[in-house]
Structure 1
Amino acid sequence: MSVQALAPVDATDVQQVRDWFKALSDQVQAVDYAAARYLFADDFVAFGTFTNFVSGQALAEKNQWRNVWSTIDGFTWRLNDIHAFVSPDRLFAVGLAVWDSTGYHPDGKPFDRPGRATVSFARETVGAPWVATHTHMSLFRDTPSVSHGNKPVKS
């Protein structure tokens, strides 16, 4: 048997990965940190724009999410383009996705702020929602790393 990167996966599992990305974009747009927490393991590990390596949901929220979500608009994933790799036991997955958003220069002028993410997921049983155990999100090359918007925070 040879390993295949693009081996077929259960369509339900892929849809549940897409559902996770959609739920995250909804919370980013709402600037609702508390509502997004269930999407992540308490001890997940992240890479991001503002921190090189952070362990734990609370630190990721403090050092990454709160530096970004309230400063951007229109954060959406390209849901139809998401790739998902799922383990044979269907309890571990990796999702690859591209997002679009709008950032703001210090003078308030908008700029396109696209990026990409790799997210690893786990779950206790087949069919249960995916929970992120690792995220690596990065902006596309030549995209300003800081946005200067100022939206209200829901929670």
Structure 2
Amino acid sequence: MTKSPTDPDDLALVKAWFDALSAQVRAVDYTGARHLFADDLLAFGTFTDFVTGREHAETTQWRKVWPTIEDFRWRLDGVRALVSPDRLFAVGMAVWDSIGHLADGGDFDRRGRATVSFARAAIGAPWVATHTHMSLFRGTPEVSHGNKPETGHNS
């Protein structure tokens, strides 16, 4: 079976999702990020095996990582996507860069990758994440010791 090329509009909306998430992570804006994820999100977790539900992801993942890092950005030019024939489901893959903070005050490159599954109600509508799997590249320290305040909409 040969895969059809991804429609440029679908790929652009996948990239827009990643870009929107990076802005929310940099702003430590949990409320502003919620619309990007399905209420019943299912994810692999760093701190738990499975994370079920957006609220659980926010509590056990986002709030433990976002305030501890700086300058989170996806490499948007490298984003890849696989889109279903009906164009209502997609899988996006991306690599990110960020800065982590060591306990002694030093910084380190905190890079990683993600696979995100998306759904939407209609072609052309924004994608909503239904599953996420994010992981750091090998050799990257697992813990960052930054402590940025929450900004944005403040939840």
How high is the TM-score relative to the length of structure 2? 0.96
Structure 1, unmatched stretches of 5+, are none
Conserved 8 A contact 1:70-1:153: yes
Q: How high is the sequence identity, in percent, across the aligned residues?
A: 65
51, 61, 65: which one aligns with 1:64: 61
User: Could you say which residue in structure 2 is the equivalent of 1:130?
Assistant: 127
- Aligned pair count reads 152
User: Could you say which residue in structure 2 is the equivalent of 1:47?
Assistant: 44
Runs of 4+ in 1 over 4 A off after TM superposition: none
SS in structure 2 at match of 1:111: strand
Instruction: Name the aligned partner's letter for residue 149 of structure 1.
Output: G
User: Could you say which residue in structure 2 is the equivalent of 1:93?
Assistant: 90
18, 21, 24: which one aligns with 1:24: 21
User: Could you say which residue in structure 1 is the equivalent of 2:80?
Assistant: 83
The CA deviation at 1:32 is: 0.2
SS in structure 2 at match of 1:150: coil
Please give the alpha-carbon distance, in whole angstroms, between the structure 2 residues aligned to 1:103 and 1:48.
Answer: 19
98, 110, 115: which one aligns with 1:118: 115
Instruction: Name the aligned partner's letter for residue 47 of structure 1.
Output: F
Please give the alpha-carbon distance, in whole angstroms, between the structure 1 residues aligned to 2:93 and 2:17.
Answer: 12
Alpha-carbon RMSD across the aligned residues, in angstroms, is 0.8
Instruction: Name the aligned partner's letter for residue 95 of structure 2.
Output: V
Please give the alpha-carbon distance, in whole angstroms, between the structure 1 residues aligned to 2:37 and 2:52.
Answer: 12
